Amino acid sequence: MIDDVIKQFKELDNKDLRILQGIEMGMKHYEWVPVEELMKFTRLPFAALEHKLRQLMRKKMVVATNTPYEGYQIYFDAYDALALNTFVKRGTVSAIGDEIGVGKESVVIEAVREAELGIGEPQGVIIKFHREGRTSFKSVKRVRSHLDDKEHFSWIYAARLAAKREADIMKQLYPDVAVPKLIDNNRHALVMEVAPGSLLYRTKLEDPEWFMNTIIDQLKATYGKGIIHSDISEYNIFVYDGGVQIIDWPQYVDTGHPQADELLARDVLNVLKYFKRKYNISRDQDEVMAYIKQVQES
């Protein structure tokens, strides 16, 4: 649970963080980071390092093996703590709140960011921790095309790459497409502005046809940028008075992708099916597809 991570993060000292950073760096080259490499990185005596490692294992931030040598890996909790440490040092966040969302490939928590130059009120923000690769890096590769050419990387790489990919596309789309404003990115975590309103599936709309058309307009604007979300549903669209905002972008593809038309059609169908099922509103899928694709062809 992220609450445990936050509690443990507050208890970590500089030596703990240095050890976690050493294991993180070592996992670029080793499946299990040898204790000898950690001694070089941390410059801690063997006895002191062993003591600290045992403490981190009790906190379930580190796991060890003795076969074929003494080596260590970090858990996601440790990776979360390292990202939080960076955000705090940068001044990106000043306080950490509650967990507000958990999915197969991410955990989302509330946080607070101090006003720039101390002028104005603190700002509520969201921290999204990517969890790609938590269960199986190979299974992630099967559904994430940006990993197809990567053969020997750990879950750290999968999660970090997914976060960078999402950060890059959010910066590319904002503000022309209704996505949250990205504030910071470190390792597998993103800090962004809080999306206004509530998720589509949780909201009873007074003018559902207007919202359906607004969502389609956002798909059109996205397509005009050469991008297809490829995983649109009522679970990643926020709605509010006057607009919508689309979240969860790491699986996007560009319009030159071999399956671009298929993925766009799936996005459109997901939207149309939801509004048909929930509000009995219909639009022709082919007409919507043609409307969206007019952007590049005009």
Q: Which residues are catalytic?
A: 231
Residue carrying structure tokens 């970590």: 12
Work out the number of other CB atoms within 10 angstroms of the CB of residue 93: 23
Helix crossing, 208-224 with 260-279: angle to 10°? 170
Work out the number of other CB atoms within 10 angstroms of the CB of residue 258: 9
Q: What CA–CA distance (Å, rounded) separates 117 from 229?
A: 36
Q: What CA–CA distance (Å, rounded) separates 98 from 37?
A: 36
Do residues 125 and 194 lie in contact, with contact meaning Cβ atoms separated by under 8 Å?
yes
- Say how far residue 231 (Cα) sits from the centre of its chain: 14
Per the DSSP assignment, residues forming a β-bridge with 198 are 239
